[in-house]
Amino acid sequence: MLYRTVPKTGDNLSILGFGCMRYPSKGRGIDEERTIRQIRQAIDGGVNYFDTAPVYHMGKSELILGRALAGGYRGKVRIATKLPHWFVSEPADLDRILHDQLDTLLTDHIDYYLLHNLSKGGLDRLRPLGVFGFLDAAKKDGRITNAGFSFHSNVQDFKEIVDAYPWDFCQIQYNYLDETSQAGTEGLKYAASKGLAVIIMEPLRGGNLTGRIPESVQKIWDGAPVKRSPAEWALRWIWNHPEVTVVLSGMNEEAHIDENIRVAGTAAPGSLSAEELATVNAARDEYKRLMKVGCTGCGYCMPCPAGVDIPGCFAKYNTYNLFPHDKAIKFHYIMRHGGLEEAKSNAGLCRSCGKCQKACPQALPIPVHLKEVSKEMDGMIPIAIPIFKGALWCMKKFGRVRRFVTGDRSHA
């Protein structure tokens, strides 16, 4: 594991951070035992930065991280968590929320404390509530060690926020598709020039840059001077920037944890050759050509009062457009969002109220995109769902449902 130094404090952070927003699931909940094993696997591999937030996993992310760090692990790591400042309506809320977080995380201090998804408007609202005095006091009495903010807005606002307070660090979305969006490369360099450590989130853009790779992008990776997985290319590209301190990865597969730790052992700043950088640029250009909706799956737009699963619909729509030959994607969309077993959550439910759009850090015109999604994906729902329901009824009636529901395809 390589480590990089926080400029203002000299703290050494592992270049790979563990993002605690995508724990492995079991049934409809979190697989807590496996999550704890994975967190400890990462620590044993040298990861010392764990990023959580009260809103991740509906409050359970902090809780499980606290449990995972019991038994001697707490002292080996830095905890980063965030103030959900939209719940702050009076000054006393600031201390109350931090107190709750310390209790939840089973710790007496937060190493890296962020104002979550801070915008210029959010800061204007928080200033009169005394947020800077609160951060100063919490640092002074040791409840927090470093103060920072996470950010999803534009680079102009980013610079204003950087200059508004003597922050120790910030957290921005950055990957080879986002060089010029949000804070982007300009913001990264600006923050670093002001002495802030920069933590990177969404390095794989919500998984869009790995997993199922479009044929045309895969061809680019296959023709590269060295053979690497798409995830490795994406991570190495970010770590190539000397201004980057930590890259967060929302890891939930043991093999991915090991793989990322391996890559983080050699990804020094400036280690990519000109030829390797040209390969990543070619992949970026191809993705931009193929992708329809720039949704990262962050979920800030949820819940929708009309019941639309906004990130879920966009994810399937993007995948469908990246793999138009794969008819199963439309089938999965219908099964998931068409109301087969749970309430409907398809794009066509959108009433264009605009609530979600205000919360979207990517500033996506969500209702407009949902109309496109509905046009492409919803058409078969009124026909397919009754057919599927009938088929399910028959399978249940004739006792064949188990192998379809459980995936058990053996003849035993």
Which 166-185 positions form the footprint of ligand SF4 (CB under 6 A)?
none
Nearer to ligand SF4, 116 or 241 (CB): 116
Residue 340 as a binder of ligand SF4 (CB under 6 A): the answer is no
Nearer to ligand SF4, 15 or 114 (CB): 114
> Buried (b) or exposed (e) across 324-336, using 16+ Cβ within 10 A?
eeeeebbeebbeb
Q: How many CB atoms lie within 10 A of CB 38?
A: 21
Q: Which of 304, 329, 373, 377 binds ligand SF4 (CB under 6 A)?
A: 304
* Beta-carbon contacts of residue 282 (< 8 Å; ≥ 6 apart): 220
**Separation CA 33–CA 99 (nearest Å):** 26
Report CA torsion sign: 100, 103, 106, 107.
positive
Residue 301 as a binder of ligand SF4 (CB under 6 A): the answer is yes
User: DSSP for 209-258?
Assistant: TSSS--HHHHHHHHTSSS---HHHHHHHHHHTSTT--EEEE---SHHHHH
Binding mask 261-300 for ligand SF4 (x = CB under 6 A): ----------------------------------xxxxxx
How many whole angstroms from its chain centre is CA 64? 18
Closest CA to 139 of 171, 158, 163, 167: 167
Helix H, strand E, coil C: the string for 365-398 is: CHHHHHHHHHHHHCCCHHHHHHHHHHHHHHHHHC
Residue 161 as a binder of ligand SF4 (CB under 6 A): the answer is no
**Separation CA 31–CA 159 (nearest Å):** 40
The pair phi, psi for residue 306, each rounded to 5°, is: -90, -5
Query: Interacting stretch for ligand SF4, rule CB under 6 A, among 31-39, 322-330, 349-357, 384-392?
Result: 349-357
Minimal distance, residue 294 CB to ligand SF4, in Å: 7
Residue 354 as a binder of ligand SF4 (CB under 6 A): the answer is yes
Residue whose pair of structure tokens reads 């969002």 in the numeric block: 337
Nearer to ligand SF4, 210 or 362 (CB): 362
Total site size for ligand SF4, rule CB under 6 A: 28
Query: Interacting stretch for ligand SF4, rule CB under 6 A, among 13-21, 159-167, 258-266, 355-363?
Result: 355-363
Binding mask 306-335 for ligand SF4 (x = CB under 6 A): x-x-xx--x---------------------
Nearer to ligand SF4, 176 or 314 (CB): 314
| Number of residues in the chain | 412
* Beta-carbon contacts of residue 140 (< 8 Å; ≥ 6 apart): none
Residue whose pair of structure tokens reads 């949000």 in the numeric block: 182
Q: Which of 43, 115, 246, 356 binds ligand SF4 (CB under 6 A)?
A: 356
Q: Report helix, strand or coil for 16.
A: strand
Residue 365 as a binder of ligand SF4 (CB under 6 A): the answer is no
Closest CA to 53 of 116, 102, 109: 116
**Token pair of 172, please?**
């921005």
**Token pair of 50, please?**
């764990």
Minimal distance, residue 318 CB to ligand SF4, in Å: 10
Residue 366 as a binder of ligand SF4 (CB under 6 A): the answer is yes
Closest CA to 238 of 175, 180, 309: 175
Minimal distance, residue 78 CB to ligand SF4, in Å: 26
Q: Which of 66, 122, 203, 367 binds ligand SF4 (CB under 6 A)?
A: 367
Q: Which of 360, 373, 377, 381 binds ligand SF4 (CB under 6 A)?
A: 360
Nearer to ligand SF4, 368 or 391 (CB): 368
**What is the chain's Cα-based Rg?**
22
Query: Interacting stretch for ligand SF4, rule CB under 6 A, among 56-64, 83-91, 217-225, 354-362?
Result: 354-362
Nearer to ligand SF4, 4 or 337 (CB): 337
Residue 344 as a binder of ligand SF4 (CB under 6 A): the answer is no
Residues that bind ligand SF4 (CB under 6 A): 295-301, 304-306, 308, 310-311, 314, 350-356, 359-360, 362, 364, 366-367, 370
